[in-house]
Amino acid sequence: MNIQPYTIHVTDDVLDDLRERLGRTRWPDTVDGAGWDYGANLDYIRELAEYWRTGFDWRAQEARLNSLPNYRAEVGGMGIHFIHVRGNGPHPLPIVLTHGWPSTFLEELEILPLLTDPAAHGGDAADAFDVVIPSLPGYGFSDRPSQKGTNPKRTAALWTELMQGLGYSRFVAHGGDWGAAVTTQLGLAHTDHVSGIHLSSATVVAPYLGEGSAPLSPAEEALVEHRDRWQAIEQGYSHEQRTKPLTLAYGLSDSPVGMLAWIVEKFWKWSDNKGDVEARFTKDELLTNATIYWATETIASSVRFYKESAADPVRFGPGERVEVPTGFAVFPGDSSQPPREWAERSYNVQRYTLMPSGGHFGAWEEPELLANELREFFRPLAGMD
C-alpha cells in the first residue's frame, strides 16, 4: 500500500473567495421570535458568518491540524486521508475511529491523546491504543467518489484494507452516526480481522421484528413512538439527502452561509447543549469543520453518502445479528436512547452504558467519558488474536 505523509493546505485564493462570498450574502427574512424553531437561528448564523469573514484564523487551525501525523493512502483505488498515532504503552490495541455527518475527522481529535497516551491523562499505559482516524470517502481530505456504491459496506472494506496496510492483522473499531454504520459493517462482514466493535448509535440498522421475534418491550415501544415523531419533525434533511442530494448540493456548494446553516443547525439540535451550541463547540471549532467542507468541496459528496447507503441497507433475517462482542455508549443528548433490549436484537451486546452527559458527537462533547468507556470495553479484547 502506498502511504504518504500529507500536509493540509488551503490556498489563499480559496480563502479570499470564501470571504468575498460571505460579504455578499443575501440573507433571508424570518418572523419575530423564531429562535431555532424555524431552522438555523438567523441572528446566530449572521454572527457566526461575520466572524468567519473577519475574525476566524484558518491558518492557525491548519497549523494545529498539521501538528498531527496526517497521511493519505491509495485504498481500493481511492485516496483516503487519515491520522495515525501509535500508542504509548506496552501493547497498544489498534482501533479505527470513524466520524459521521455533518462532522469530519475533527470529531475524533479530542479523544485521540486520551486513547494513545492514557498514562499522561490519569489512566494506565496498559490501556493504550494505536489510533487510526480516517476521513470518510467524500469527506474532508479523502477523495470524492465518482461512481455509485460508496456506502458503509464499501467503506468498511476500505478500512479493513487500510488497517491491513498499516500492519494490523486484527483491530477493533468505534463510531457514531455514519461511523456506527461503518463500524457495524466491520463487525458484520470482517470478523476475520475485527475483534470487537463499540458504537454510540444503536439505531443504524433495523432489527428483525418479523415472525418469531420477541414482542417489543414497553421501552422499545416508546423508542418506536419517539422515532416516528422524530422522523416527522426532524428528518427532513435526511429524506432530501437520501433522495435528491444533487438538487440540495447546488445551494450548499455555492453559498458558504447556506452550507454553514445546514450544518450548524445539526450541531445545535443534536448536541447536549441546553439550547446554546457554544456550550459544546466554540466558534473556531464549528468554523474549522465548516471550512474543511468548503475548501475541499465535499458537502455534495458527503450528503450523497445518504443516498448510497439507502440503496443498500442492512436487513437482518430471523436469528441474524452482529456476532462480534459489541459495546454501546448511549448519550442523553442524542436524538434517541434505545434500550439495551433493542440493541440486543441486532448485536452481541457485552456492555451497554447510559452516559451521564453528552450528545450525538460523543467523542467531541465528552472525550474523557468516552475514552474511559472504550478502555473498559476493549480491555478484555486486547490480547485476542
**From the CA atom positions of the chain, what is the Rg in Å?**
20
Q: What are the C-alpha distances in Å from 285 to residues 10, 29, 192, 196, 360?
A: 17, 27, 37, 31, 16
Residue 165: its H or E element: helix 152-165
Active-site residues, by number, are 177, 306, 360
Nearest Cα neighbor of 226 from 331, 335, 332, 353 is: 335
Cell numbers found for residue 245:
442530494
Write the CB contacts of 360 (distance below 8 Å, at least 6 apart in sequence). 100, 176, 177, 200, 266, 270, 271, 331, 333, 334, 335
CB count in 10 Å sphere of residue 218: 8
Nearest Cα neighbor of 237 from 255, 219, 252 is: 252
Cα 185 to Cα 183: distance, rounded to the nearest angstrom:
5
Torsion of CA 73, 77, 78, 82, to 10 degrees: -20
